[in-house]
Amino acid sequence: MPVEKHDNPVIATLRSAHDRTADRITGATHGIGRALAIAFAAEGHPLLLIARHVEAIAELADHPHRFAAVDVTDYAMLAAAIEGAEAQFGPVDCLVNNAGFIHIGDFSKRAIDDLDYETDVLLKGVLHGVRAVLPGMTERKRGTIVNVSSIGDRRPGPSGETYHAAKAAVRSLSESLQQGQAKNNIRVINLAPGLVKTNIHETMGISFEEYCKMLGNPDFIAPERIAEIILFCYKLPQSICIRDLVVMPTTSGY
């Protein structure tokens, strides 16, 4: 069952008075988030990097960026981090909601607090990010929001029920936002990847080798390829929006 762990919350780009764009990335120290930070930095965008546990990224040493140790379930802290970055770099032009994790186990035995927190991160974290940047984007009549979902948003499996339900909700949210924000020239993109090589196995309590065996030893996509796809979507003219995109290895029949 291909599902993704997104340990780094959100990438957002900020546009300053000098027409520089800065990117805000949540969950930006590992996996897809880290790859996004490096890819957007290479294009010259200042960055706001958000994660629960901040770790320096060597490739960004000489690049303008800010780190914020924030849990995306805390709206006040998230909004304050964005406000601080906007004061330094300019208003948000692109947000990438990428925070998340997955717990696999017998649903009837999982603790309620665990179920609640997983839902808070995977769904409310996205809602918080969107709510924080949308008023400014609406006022400026431009912006891009990328919600990193999962192949599980349309192909749920027999476990990870909370994860798949939340990802389906994110996909629905993205479509509703697309319809509602088209009049404001705001692009909303739902990206649904599967079989990306991350550390998802760690929250499942198994080794990467065991994880591969469980899935039938499939090919995996490098996080850098997902970052390239997101950057490609963002660099298209504002008048073009790739609304919903599924990304899987060519050799996968899932």
Residues 6+ positions from 24 with CB-CB distance below 8 Å? 10, 11, 12, 13, 14, 47, 48, 49, 50, 82, 85, 92, 94, 95, 96, 133
| Per-residue pLDDT tens over the stretch 118-176 | 999 999 999 999 999 999 999 999 999 999 999 999 999 888 999 999 999 999 999 99
Q: Is 63 helix (H, G, I), strand (E, B) or coil?
A: coil
What type of residue is 185?
N
Angstrom distance (rounded) from CA 72 to CA 84: 16
Going by pLDDT thresholds of 50, 70 and 90, the confidence category of residue 16 is very low
Q: Is residue 50 part of a domain?
A: yes
Where residue 205 sits, what CATH number does that domain have? 3.40.50.720
Question: What mean pLDDT do residues 17-41 have?
Answer: 70
Residue 253 located in a structural domain:
no
pLDDT of residue 22: 54
> How confident is the model at residue 25, as a pLDDT?
59
The answer to whether residue 26 is domain-embedded is yes
* Domain span holding position 147: 11-247
* Residue 30 phi, psi dihedral angles, 5° rounding: -145, 160
Residue 72, number of CB atoms within 10 A of its CB? 29
Q: 147-170 burial, b for 16+ CB within 10 Å, e for fewer?
A: bbbbbbbebbeebbbbbbbbbbbb
Handedness of CA 40, 42, 45, 47 (dihedral sign): positive
**Distance between CA atoms of residues 166 and 162, nearest Å:** 6
Place of tokens 């958000």: 50
Residue positions annotated with a catalytic role: 163
The number of folded domains in the chain is 1
Asked whether residue 18 is assigned to any structural domain, the reply reads yes
What are the helix (H) ranges across 141-183? 161-181
For residue 202, being part of any structural domain is answered with yes
Q: Cα(47)–Cα(221) distance, rounded to whole angstroms?
A: 24
- pLDDT tens, residue by residue, 68-116: 999 999 999 999 999 999 999 999 999 999 988 888 889 999 999 999 9
pLDDT of residue 26: 55
- Phi then psi for residue 3, to 5 deg, are -140, 160
pLDDT at residue 104, rounded to an integer: 83
Instruction: Fill in the amino acid letter for 80.
Output: A
Residue 231 CA to residue 120 CA, distance in Å, equals 27
Q: What is the pLDDT of residue 171?
A: 98
Instruction: Judge whether 123 lies within some domain.
Output: yes
Through-space distance between the first and last CA atoms of the chain, rounded to whole angstroms: 8
Q: Answer whether residue 145 is part of any domain.
A: yes
Look at residue 115 and tell me if it is in a domain: yes
C-alpha radius of gyration, the chain, whole number: 17
Beta strand spans in 80-178 (E): 92-97, 143-148
